[in-house]
Structure 1
Amino acid sequence: MQNTDLNKDIQFFANCGPIRVWSLVITILGDLCQKPEDFITGRALGHLVARLGVNNQALRVALHRLRRDGWIRTERDGRSSNYYLSNQGQTMVVSVRNRIYQSNPPKKIPIYLIVAPPSVSATDFANTLPESACNLSTRIALFSGDTTLPPNYLQIPLEANPVPDWITEIIAPSALQSEFCILQKAIRTVLSEQVPTTIVDRTILRLIILHHWRRLILRQSLLADILLPDQWPGAMARRQVSVALTRYDRPDLLALNACLDDRT
C-alpha cells in the first residue's frame, strides 16, 4: 500500500523539471552504491523509480542505454538481476561527487580574466581552458585556480566584487537561478513535514531531492559559488539540500534491498 503522505511530498517536486529516467538511475546508483561491489537489485530499483512515476518500459529502455554506454553492468541472480556501476560509471560518478555533496564550497580561490590574441581560433581557445573556466566571449574567459596558459595570453587577477550583472547572467543564468528557487521552495516545504518512518520512504525523498539538485548543480558554472554572494539562489538551495540529505540519510543498502525485495 502506498503512503499517501509520501505521494503528497513527491508532488511538491512536480515543478522542478522533467525526470530523465537514465539520469535518475545514475542518481540512484551513484548515491546508494558507494563502493564498486555495491549493487541494487532489479526489484528494488523498479520499486524506487515506480514511486517517482517511472514505468517498467521506461526503466528497461534506460537500463539498456546505460549498459550500452558503459555506465552500468548487470549480474543475474536467479530470475532477477542486480545492477552495479561499471568501472567507467564509478569514475564518472566520483569525478562529480564533490560538486554534488559539498555543503560549503571554497570561496577564497583566485579568479583570473584571460584574453587570447586575435590569431587564436575560438576552438583552440576553448581547448586550452581548464574545467573551471567560463567563456565571456570568443577569446575572453574567467577561470579559477592555477593553470598553465600559453605565454602570449593576457592573464589578469579579477578583483571586481560584486561582479557586473552581465557576468552574473553568464555564470548563473536567470533561468537556472529560477530553477534553484523552485527546488529550494519544494525542499523547504517537505522539511516542514514529519520525517517518514520507513527506510523506503526516507530514501525516496532523499533521491528525488538529490536528483533535482544533481541535475542543476552539474549545469552550474564552477565559478558561481566563488564569485556570487552567499544569498544567491544556488547557494541557498545548496544549504537546503545539505539539511535534507542529513535528515533523509543514506540508507544501509543491504537493508534497503531486503526491504524492497520483500515487497514484491
Structure 2
Amino acid sequence: MPTDPFSENTAALRALGGQRVWSLMISLFGDLAQGAGDRIDGPVLSAIMARQHIKPEAVRVALHRLRKDGWVTSEKSGRIRQHSLTDKGRRESAIASPRIYARPGSEIENWQLILLPPSDADTSADMIARGFAAITTRTYIGPQSAQPPADALALPGDDVPGWLRNEAAPDDLREDYMQLLRTLTDLKAKLDQMSELSQIEVAVLRCLVVHNWRRLVLRHAPLPPSLLPEDWPGHACHRMVASLLDRFPRPDISRIAQQAAAA
C-alpha cells in the first residue's frame, strides 16, 4: 500500500466510523457521478479505492452488493467495465444531497414543538422522516417548515431553554462530531503543507470528507441552530467540511481517467 504523504495525512480520516466499503462507494458515486449519464470506468474506480487502502476483492464484493440492492449498474464498453448509479441510486443521492452539501448558515431558524396524541404505535420513524427530533415518545421538535401529522398539536417555538437544547443534542452524536472536527482540523493543517493534489487524490479526499460528514449529518433531523447548544460541534464541523469541499472542487472524471491510465 502507498506510504506517501497523502496516504499518511488521510489515515485518521480513513479510520473514522468503521467504514464499510459499499457505503464509501455510495458516497463516492454521489459526489463524483450523481448525474444522469455519469459513469466511472473500472480502472478509475480501482485507482480511487486503492488510494483509500481498499483491496480489490473488497471492491468487487461491495459492487456486487450495490448491484444486488439496485444502487449501481455495471456494463461493458469495449474491454472496460463502466459503473453508474441506477435511477434509484440517483434518486436516493438527490434526496440526501441538500443535507450533505448545504451551505453553513443556510439553516432555517424558525421551529415548532409537536405533541402527538396517545397511541401504542411507534411513530418515531415517521416523525424522523418528517424532519423532527424526539424529546419524549410523544413530544418532538423540528423546523417550522416540517409537516407534522394531521392529528398532532403544533406549537410555534419562541425562546429555547438550555435543557431543551441539550435534549436535542445526544452526547454520543456530540462526541462523534468532535472526533470528526478534530480529524478535519488536523488534516487541513497538513494539507496546507502539501503540494498540489492530483485529481485522484482530490477524488479520494472528497469521498472521505463527504462520507464521514454524511454518516453523521443524516443521523439526525435538520434542526434550526436555535434548537442546539451554542457550542454544538456540528456547526464548526459543517464549516470545516464546506471549506475543504470549496478548496478542492469536484474533479472531472475524464481527468481522473487520464491520470489513472498514466500511472
Give yes or no for the alignment of 1:141 onto 2:172: no
TM alignment of 1:72-91, pairs within 5 A: 72-91=72-91
Partner residue in 2 for 1:177 = 174
Q: Work out the CA distance in 2 between the residues paired with 1:226 and 1:91.
A: 31
**Identity over aligned pairs, percent:** 30
SS at match of 2:256: helix
The residue identity in structure 1 corresponding to 2:83 is: Y
Change (3 A) 1:30 1:195: farther
Q: Cα offset for 1:73?
A: 0.9
TM alignment of 1:1-264, pairs within 5 A: 2=2, 4-118=4-118, 120-123=119-122, 127=126, 131-146=130-145, 147=147, 149-151=149-151, 153-164=152-163, 168-169=166-167, 171-193=168-190, 194-223=194-223, 225-229=225-229, 231-263=231-263
Change (3 A) 1:14 1:89: closer
SS at match of 2:18: coil
**4+ residue segments displaced more than 6 Å:** none
- Does the aligned pair in 2 maintain the 1:172–1:224 contact within 8 Å? no
SS at match of 1:137: coil
TM-score (norm 2): 0.88
Q: Work out the CA distance in 1 between the residues paired with 2:77 and 2:226.
A: 47
- Does the aligned pair in 2 maintain the 1:202–1:248 contact within 8 Å? yes
Q: Cα offset for 1:101?
A: 0.8
- Does the aligned pair in 1 maintain the 2:109–2:224 contact within 8 Å? no
Q: Work out the CA distance in 1 between the residues paired with 2:127 and 2:175.
A: 32
Q: Work out the CA distance in 2 between the residues paired with 1:9 and 1:95.
A: 31
The residue identity in structure 1 corresponding to 2:154 is: Q
Change (3 A) 1:50 1:125: closer
Q: Structure 2: which 5+ residue stretches go unaligned?
A: none
Q: Structure 1: which 5+ residue stretches go unaligned?
A: none
Farther-moved stretch of structure 1 (107-116 vs 83-92): 107-116
Q: Work out the CA distance in 1 between the residues paired with 2:66 and 2:129.
A: 28
| Count of aligned positions | 259
Q: CA RMSD in A?
A: 2.3
Q: Cα offset for 1:41?
A: 0.9
- Does the aligned pair in 2 maintain the 1:162–1:228 contact within 8 Å? no
Q: Cα offset for 1:215?
A: 1.3
